[in-house]
Amino acid sequence: MLGVVLVGGFFALNSYIYNEKQGDQKIALNPREATYVINSQVIELTNGLSEIEATPGSASKIVTRYFGNEAEYDFDGDGRLDTVFLLTQETGGSGVFYYVAVALNKESGYIGSQGLLLGDRIAPQTTEMGTGKIVIVNYADRKPGESFDVSPSVGKSIWLILDPETLQFGEVAQNFEGEADPSRMSLSMKTWAWINALYNDGRTIAPKKSGVFTITFSEGGKFSATTDCNRVSGTYSVNKDQLSFGPMAATKMYCEGSEEGDFTKLLTDTQSYQFTSKGELILDLKFDSGSVTFR
C-alpha cells in the first residue's frame, strides 16, 4: 500500500523571502503575467517571459520562460482553480534549469509561488495531481556522472505539496510505510483524500479518479468536501473517538455516473474514527459494517 508523509519541516521554511519579495506587484490576469520568486530573486513575467540583468550593468541576462505542462487544482480551498506548471531559466551559461511553480487564482489576480528546482537540461514529461493536494511531476534525467551531451533517459517522479501560506513546496516521501504518530494527528491537520471503503461482507468501493473526493475539517465543527461532481459542506461533531456528520448541502450540478451518492452515504453512516501509523484517517461505519480509508 502506498502512503505519504511530508519530509520534515517544510512548513517551517522561511516565508520572509516570499513576503518581502512579493510585496508590491502588478495585478496578473493569468499565470503568464504573475510574479514568482526563484532563488530568492523576484521574477515578473510578461507574456510568459522575463529578462533581467544578471548583475547591474551586465550584458548577461537571466531569462525565465513559462514552459507549460500545466495542471489545475484548488490549492488554497477558495473555490477557484489554481495552476501548477513548469518554468525554465537560463542564467547566461549553457544550462537550462527547470522549476515547478504554482499561480494561485485569487480574487484580485494571480499570485505566484516560489519555484522549486527540478534539474538542469532535463526532459519534462507530465505534471499531474495525485491523491489530495499532491503534485506529481514526471521527467527524464541523466544517470549520475553522465555528460549533458547524453539525452536524458532515466525516468523520475517527484511528489510535492504546496503550503498556501508561504507558497513553498515540500517533497512527499513515496512508498512510505509508517512512522506517523497517530496521537499527534487530528482531523483538521490536512485535506483528506478518499482511497476506498471496505465492507465486512467483502464489497469494496473506490473512487474512479484518485484525488477527486476530499474532505477538510475545520476547527469550528464544519467540514467541506469535493466530489466528482459537486462541492459538499456541512457540520460534524466529535466525542472522543466518536464522529458524526450533520445535514449536508451540495451544489446542484448533475454528472452522469457520479459516485457522489456513495461518498456522502459513507459520511452519513460514519460512527467513529481512528488514525494509523501510515498517516491514514479511518472512518468506522455504523453497526460494524465496514471502514473508509482517507489519506
Tell me: the pLDDT tens digits for 60-106? 899 999 999 999 999 999 999 999 999 999 988 889 999 999 999 99
What does the pLDDT read at residue 5? Answer: 41
Confidence of residue 40 (pLDDT cuts 50, 70, 90): confident
Condensed to tens digits (0 to 9), the pLDDT of residues 234-244 reads: 999 999 999 99
Dihedral of CA 72/132/13/96: which sign?
A: negative
Radius of gyration of the chain (CA): 22
User: For the stretch 245-255, what's the b/e string if a residue is b when 16 or more beta carbons lie within 10 angstroms of its beta carbon?
Assistant: beeeeeeeeee
What does the pLDDT read at residue 252? Answer: 86
Mean pLDDT of 99-118: 94
- CA-to-CA distance for 169 and 163, rounded, in angstroms? 6
What does the pLDDT read at residue 1? Answer: 39
Mean pLDDT of 180-196: 86
Check if the beta carbon of residue 43 is closer than 8 Å to that of residue 36: yes
108 to 43, 47, 59: CA distances (angstroms) = 19, 19, 36
> E-assigned strands of 78-182?
82-90, 97-106, 109-112, 116-120, 123-129, 135-141, 154-163, 168-173
What does the pLDDT read at residue 180? Answer: 67
DSSP state of 1: -
Is pLDDT above 70 for 184? yes
- CA-to-CA distance for 28 and 247, rounded, in angstroms? 39
What does the pLDDT read at residue 174? Answer: 60
Q: Which helix (H) or strand (E) holds 62?
A: strand 61-73
What does the pLDDT read at residue 261? Answer: 94
- CA-to-CA distance for 273 and 278, rounded, in angstroms? 15
Confidence of residue 143 (pLDDT cuts 50, 70, 90): confident
What does the pLDDT read at residue 156? Answer: 86
Pick from 78-82, 115-119, 146-150, 232-236: least confident: 146-150
Confidence of residue 219 (pLDDT cuts 50, 70, 90): confident
Residues in the chain: 295
Condensed to tens digits (0 to 9), the pLDDT of residues 243-278 reads: 999 999 998 888 988 999 999 999 999 999 999 877
Is pLDDT above 70 for 24? no
Mean pLDDT of 175-187: 71
User: For the stretch 106-116, what's the b/e string if a residue is b when 16 or more beta carbons lie within 10 angstroms of its beta carbon?
Assistant: eeebbbbbbbb
Please state the separation of Cα 140 from the chain's center in Å: 21
Average pLDDT, the chain: 86
What does the pLDDT read at residue 209? Answer: 80
Residue with cell 551586465: 58
What does the pLDDT read at residue 179? Answer: 57
What does the pLDDT read at residue 279? Answer: 82
Confidence of residue 54 (pLDDT cuts 50, 70, 90): confident
Contacts of 256 (CB under 8 A, 6+ apart): none
What does the pLDDT read at residue 52? Answer: 92
Q: What domains sit in the chain, N to C, each tagged with a CATH number?
A: 5-173 (no CATH), 182-294 (2.40.128.270)
Confidence of residue 20 (pLDDT cuts 50, 70, 90): very low
Pick from 2-16, 163-177, 198-212: least confident: 2-16
219 to 15, 141, 143, 275: CA distances (angstroms) = 24, 43, 47, 17
pTM over 0.85: no
